[in-house]
Each structure stands twice: as C-alpha cells, then as structure tokens.
Amino acid sequence: MTDEKTTGGVDEAPETQPATREEFARLLEGADQGAAVQRVKPGDKVRCRVARVADDWVFVDLGGKQEGSIRREEFEADALPSEGQEIEAYVVSTAAGEVVLTTKLSARDLSKNALAEAHQAGIPVEGKVVKVVKGGYEVRVGGLRAFCPHSQIDLRWTKEPEVHVGQTYAFKVLEYKEGGRNVVLSRRALLEEERAKKREELRNVLEPGAVVTGRVRAVHE
C-alpha cells in the first residue's frame, strides 16, 4: 500500500528564481529613488550639489540618485553656480516624482496662499521696494503689499532710506496676518544667514600659517 500525502486543497507555492544581478541593481535603484522622493517635501530646505547647467534649468543632485531642478533665471549672470558647487535651495514641488526647487519665490510665483506657505516654511520671497513710509518701506511682493522696517532692510542702519527705493531684493517673511493684509518682511534676516554661512566656511579653511585676503573696515587708536 502506497502512502499518499494530502495537501488539503492548498497548492504548493512555486519556487522563486533568484534575481539576476541586473534585476537586483534595478530594484536597489528604484528603492533609492523612492526613498529620496519621500525624504523631501515642499518647504524643506536642502543642501545640494549642482550636476549640470542647461539653457533654462540648473539641475542638482539631491543624493540617492534623485535629481532636482531650479530655474536658471533665478541666478544673476555673475552668480550662476558651476557644476560641482554646493548650494542651498527650498523644495517647491515633488509632483510626479520630479523635485522642483527654488532659491527664492519670484513675483510671478506669489499669491496669498504662496506667501502664507513661504512664511510657514521660511522660503525667501522676491519683492520690490516701492517707497519709504513711516518706520520703514512699502514692498510689493507679486501683487501684494508688504512692510519692511528700517532696521530690517540692511545689516546696518541706512542713513539715506531712498537708496533702496526701486531695488528688488530677497526677503524673509517675518509675519503673515489677517489673510495677507498684514505682512512684515526682513532682508536683514537673510543677510545675517548668509554672513553666518560665510563665517562658517571661513572657519573650515582657516589654519595656522594660512594667507588670507581681507578688507580694512576701520582704524582705531
């Protein structure tokens, strides 16, 4: 009599074939890309490396085989980053797996909602100083009116406030109230951040015996 094994109606799982090296590499690549997209979200401030500069876009490496893009027009001609240079930017969108970044929100990108989001996320906005008012300046940010106090327009007190009128600067949104009717900006906050970053970079390269170039700011007895 022959013993028969019963399976109780459950089919045995078919044997799985080991993945080839190429398939395994593709799986890892896909996992890396998916993780990179999940790591960043709109409003995040990231430090990235410029991968290449094209006619309309600057493409940056975000790590994990993920690439992002920044409009080239955001950069002045004499401040266009070069390949390999590290820059800081803010994530604007991750739609369809494409990461779009900005160094600041330009006037054409701004609405009340965008300005509110810039305030929450700390994203700089572009604004034009239109006139001097009591206590500071009226600044146009897109089609919106904002206020920048005298003390927040520069690192030092400006003796002639009119020198800033007509200038377009990047500002940090300090306050956003009453649905956009009360918006307070600061250019100084961004200048201080930039100064602190340069000081940190200088500390990283300074060493005993190093020769550096400086500017004499004042001479005291």
Each residue's pLDDT tens digit, 140-177? 998 889 999 999 999 999 899 999 999 999 999 999 99
Compute φ and ψ for 12, nearest 5 degrees: -70, 140
Q: Is residue 18 part of a domain?
A: no
Do 86 and 113 belong together in one domain? no
For tokens 């305030």, name the residue.
119
| Per-residue pLDDT tens digits for 66-111 | 899 999 988 888 889 999 999 988 888 888 888 999 888 776 667 7
Q: What is the mean pLDDT of residues 200-210?
A: 75
Helix (H) or strand (E) holding 26: helix 21-39
- pLDDT above 70 (res 7): no
**CATH code of residue 36:** 2.40.50.140
- For tokens 């890309």, name the residue: 33
Spatial neighbors of 150 by CB under 8 A, at least 6 apart, are: 135, 136, 137, 157, 158, 161
Give domain status of residue 121, yes or no.
yes
| 154: three-class secondary structure by DSSP | coil
How many domains, in total, are found in the chain?
A: 2
At 1, the pLDDT band (50, 70, 90 cuts) reads low
Instruction: Out of 70, 102, 134, pick the residue that ends a domain.
Output: 102
* Higher per-residue pLDDT: 162 or 204: 162
**Alpha carbon distance 146, 126 (integer Å):** 11
Range of the domain at 126: 107-191
Residues 13-24: pLDDT tens digits? 445 455 455 554
Give the ranges where 61-168 is alpha helix by DSSP (H). 112-121
